[in-house]
């Protein structure tokens, strides 16, 4: 079963799975942020830093298992992550506006 994702989120998936660092950062708004279990990284530099230490820098792969539209541009996506870092399933909450990711929050759910 293929999970249909909003375009901005799909770009982050595609970039992760093809090890495209620039594409991953470009999927986010310049003032966007990532919050990974309470560790928040802001703006393009923060997104690039997280990508380097926790995502493409760890040869991560992402597979969307499900998506729930929570309204107002917010989506809960269950993601199976593989690679040389964290491996397993986690809920990611993306907020999308103007065809860019404004935020990506990873937590226990």
Domain that holds residue 28: 7-106
Residue 89 phi, psi (nearest 5) = -110, 135
| Mean pLDDT calculated for residue range 37-49 | 97
Q: Does 101 reside within a domain?
A: yes
Q: Does 2 reside within a domain?
A: no
DSSP labels, 28-78: EEEEEEEEETTEEEEHHHHHHHHHHHHSGGGT-EEEEEEEEEEETTEEEEE
pLDDT confidence of residue 2: 85
Q: What is the Cα–Cα distance from 101 to 67, expressed in whole angstroms?
A: 15
How high is the mean pLDDT of the chain? Answer: 96
Which secondary structure element, helix H or strand E, spans residue 93, and what is its range? Answer: strand 88-97
pLDDT confidence of residue 47: 98
Q: Does 56 reside within a domain?
A: yes
The CATH number linked to 75 is 3.10.450.50
Q: What is the Cα–Cα distance from 96 to 82, expressed in whole angstroms?
A: 24
Q: What is the pLDDT of residues 64-107, one digit of tens each?
A: 999 999 999 999 999 999 999 999 999 999 999 999 999 999 98
Percent of the chain residues topping a pLDDT of 70? 97
pLDDT at residue 36 is higher than 60:
yes
pLDDT confidence of residue 107: 84
| pTM of the complete model | 0.96
For residue 109, name the pLDDT band (cuts at 50, 70, 90).
Answer: low
For residue 1, name the pLDDT band (cuts at 50, 70, 90).
Answer: low
């Amino acid at each position: 079963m293929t999970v249909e994702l909003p375009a901005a989120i799909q770009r982050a998936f595609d970039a992760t799975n093809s090890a495209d660092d620039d594409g991953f950062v470009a999927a986010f708004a310049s003032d966007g942020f990532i919050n990974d279990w309470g560790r928040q990284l802001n703006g393009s530099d923060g997104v690039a830093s997280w990508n380097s230490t926790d995502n493409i820098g760890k040869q991560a792969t992402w597979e969307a298992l499900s998506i729930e539209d929570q309204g107002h541009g917010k989506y809960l996506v269950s993601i199976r992550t593989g690679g040389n870092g964290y491996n397993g399933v986690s809920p990611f909450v993306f907020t999308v506006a103007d065809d860019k990711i404004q935020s990506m929050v990873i937590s226990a759910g």
